[in-house]
Amino acid sequence: MSILGFSLLVWLGSFSAGLVGALTGLGGGVVIVPLLTSVFGVDIRYAVGASLVSVIATSLGSASTYIKQGFANLRLGMFLEVATTIGAIIGALLAAFVSVKFLTIILAVVLIYSAYLSQRPRPEHQEIETPDPIAEYLQLNGTYPTPNGVIPYYINALPAGFSIMLIAGVLSGLLGIGSGAFKVLAMDQAMRLPFKVSTTTSNFMIGVTAATSAGVYLSRGYIDPGLSMPVMLGVLPGAFLGARILIGAKTQTLRIIFSLVLIAMAFKMVYNSVIGGI
C-alpha cells in the first residue's frame, strides 16, 4: 500500500472516530486504536499515541461548539478532573500488583450492564427535590438550551459522581483505556444530569486527560507525525460534524449509539484479554 493510500484510509477511519467520539462523549480513541492495530498493523504504542492526539482533537473540535451553545459545564468538568487524575496515578501504581486479565473481564461486564442502564427510560428534565449542597456551594449547577428554551438543571449526589470518576481514573491507569464511558455514566446515572450535558462535559474533560498522557508518549517517541497527522486531520472535521448533529439529535438516539459503543468496547476488551488478539 502506498503512503498516500494508507493516509487516506487512516483519514476516513479517523473521520468516523471523531464523529462517534463527539456524539457519545467517549473520544475518538475508542475507534482509532482497534482500527490502527487490527486493520493497519500499527504497533500498539504508536496507535495509543495517535489515539491521544485524536482524543485531544475530538475534544477541541467538539468542545468549542458545545461551550458556545451552552451545553458543556466547565466548572463541573474541571472539578471532576481532579478525581480522574488522582485515580489515574493510583491505577498506575497498582498496575504491577493487579491481575489485569481478571479486571478486564469485570470491567467488560460493568460496561454491558451500563449499556443496559443507559437505555432505561428516564425523564430528560428530572426534578431534584434537594439539590446537592456541595454543588450549590461550588456553583456547579447550570443551564442548557432546549427547543423550549434554556432549562436549568441541578446536580444530584456529587460525592457519588466524584467517587465514580476516581474509579474511572484508576481503571484508566490500570488498563490504559480512556475513561470517557465512565465519565458519561457518572454524570448521567449518578448525578442525574441531562444526557447532552453529560456527553458534552465528558468531551471537554477527556481532552484535559489526554493532553497530560500525550506528553508522556511524546517524550518517549511514541507519537509519530506521519501517523498522527492524518488521524488529527480526519478526527477534527468528524468531531465538528458530530457536535452539530448532537445539538439537534434526539436524546434516545444518542443513548442507543452510546450503548452500542459500550457493548463493542466490552467485547473488544474481552477478546484482547482472553484470546490475545488486538
User: Between 207 and 46, whose confidence is greater?
Assistant: 46
Tell me the percentage of the chain whose pLDDT exceeds 90: 1
Band the pLDDT of 28: cuts 50, 70, 90: low
- pLDDT on residue 272: 65
DSSP string, 78-112: HHHHHHHHHHHHHHHHHTTTS-HHHHHHHHHHHHH
User: Between 215 and 231, whose confidence is greater?
Assistant: 231
Q: Residue 71 pLDDT more than 80?
A: yes
- pLDDT on residue 4: 81
- pLDDT on residue 278: 46
- pLDDT on residue 277: 47
Q: Please state, in angstroms and rounded to a whole number, the distance separating the CA atoms of residues 94 and 221.
A: 25
- pLDDT on residue 176: 54
Element (H, E) at 142: strand 142-146
- Domain boundaries along the sequence of the chain: 3-275
Q: Residue 124 pLDDT more than 60?
A: no
Element (H, E) at 134: helix 133-137
pTM score: 0.70
* Mean per-residue pLDDT over the chain, rounded: 77
* Grid cell for residue 122: 428516564
pLDDT tens-digit readout, 238-250: 878 887 887 777 7
Q: Residue 197 pLDDT more than 80?
A: yes
Q: Residue 45 pLDDT more than 60?
A: yes
In this structure, the chain runs to a length of 278
* Lowest mean pLDDT, pick from 81-90, 107-116, 222-231: 107-116
* Grid cell for residue 128: 431534584
Q: Residue 100 pLDDT more than 70?
A: no
User: Between 97 and 155, whose confidence is greater?
Assistant: 155
Average pLDDT over residues 60-86: 83
Burial 201-217 (b: 16+ CB within 10 A, else e): bbbbbbbbbbeebbeeb
Q: Please state, in angstroms and rounded to a whole number, the distance separating the CA atoms of residues 125 and 134.
A: 21
pLDDT tens-digit readout, 146-172: 877 888 888 888 898 899 888 877 776
Q: What are phi and psi of 64, to 5 degrees?
A: -60, -40
* Lowest mean pLDDT, pick from 124-133, 189-198, 254-263: 124-133
Band the pLDDT of 275: cuts 50, 70, 90: low
User: Between 66 and 135, whose confidence is greater?
Assistant: 135
Average pLDDT over residues 107-136: 68
pLDDT tens-digit readout, 171-196: 766 665 556 777 887 888 788 888 88
User: Between 9 and 127, whose confidence is greater?
Assistant: 9
